[in-house]
Structure 1
């Protein structure tokens, strides 16, 4: 094998390596995008479960709201844990904010860690206006309304997951292959 053949073989290996890297990067991008569609319904479900636990705390427990949010947050997992714990922190000293202010601040600061959309954010925002401001029966009604709205959003999120998750995975690989074909 002469020097010319070695150079050609080296160039071919670099092209193949480059093509593999482009396809892998595009596939990874598609996989990351598809993962968001899988995370959203799970996070909505965990939010629903957290609100149901809050319902139980309000109905049967006489736990102060900050303590209940902290306990429920610890059971919920991230990113719901961050939001509820943050809300509890703002209600306790030295801040002593209202439940509305605390929940809104917590949602605002923790929302970037979620895969949820603005519809779910709006549900929590609406709930914050009534949390801790009325009697138990009224609060339970508002939490139940929030749960129903989140269940509706969860159904939409599951449909989107079924529709788009596989598509983005495939699209990532196909886009990578298309780019490779264009360059070579």
Structure 2
């Protein structure tokens, strides 16, 4: 019975390490995908003169989950008409943020961007999109460095932590 418990503990701790490593790799992937989505957003606003509801729906169909759900929620809130653009953006972030692997810095950049949505003309809006993209690109570089530095360690620590717990218990 002890050995079964030890194996379960080892597998559980190893799974925790692998989950930590997965989140590290997902963060850089999601930031990259968000950057692409905002570039799409910029093109639709600047050159397509597309309303935000349609932009949000188009982007939600091109990105993967959880970002697709964020843009879908944003478009739905705009369509309902109960929210202004900024509150729809902020609420969509608040509801969907925990599903992402991104950190607070990316959230702050998106919230700042959301405060400018619908407030300015197209060219001023483009400047805010470019500013947000700059922030996100810097965070993507940091996320990749963090991933390279900690991903392997996270996997190893999960397994070794499980072994340590088994040794201490025996």
TM-score (norm 2): 0.95
1:117 match: 103
Alignment of 1:39-118 (within 5 A): 39-95=26-82, 97-118=83-104
Unaligned runs of 5+ in 1: 1-13
RMSD: 1.1
Q: Distance in 2 between matches of 1:129 and 1:15?
A: 57
Q: Distance in 2 between matches of 1:145 and 1:33?
A: 30
2:21 match: 34
Q: Distance in 2 between matches of 1:26 and 1:129?
A: 42
Q: Distance in 1 between matches of 2:15 and 2:157?
A: 11
Q: Secondary structure at the match of 2:118?
A: coil
1:143 match: 129
Q: Distance in 2 between matches of 1:21 and 1:75?
A: 40
1:126 match: 112
* TM superposition shift of 1:173: 0.8
Match of 1:152 among 135, 138, 142: 138
Identify the structure with bigger relative contact order (alpha carbons < 8 Å, sequence gap 6+). Answer: 2
Number of aligned positions between the proteins = 170
Unaligned runs of 5+ in 2: none
Q: Secondary structure at the match of 1:172?
A: helix
Q: Distance in 2 between matches of 1:83 and 1:72?
A: 10
Q: Distance in 2 between matches of 1:93 and 1:18?
A: 52
Q: Distance in 1 between matches of 2:34 and 2:20?
A: 22
* TM superposition shift of 1:18: 2.8
TM-score (norm 1): 0.88
User: Which structure would you say has the larger Rg?
Assistant: 1
- 1:37-86 Cα deviation digits (max 9, x unpaired): 11100010111000000010011102111111111111111111111111
1:174 match: 160
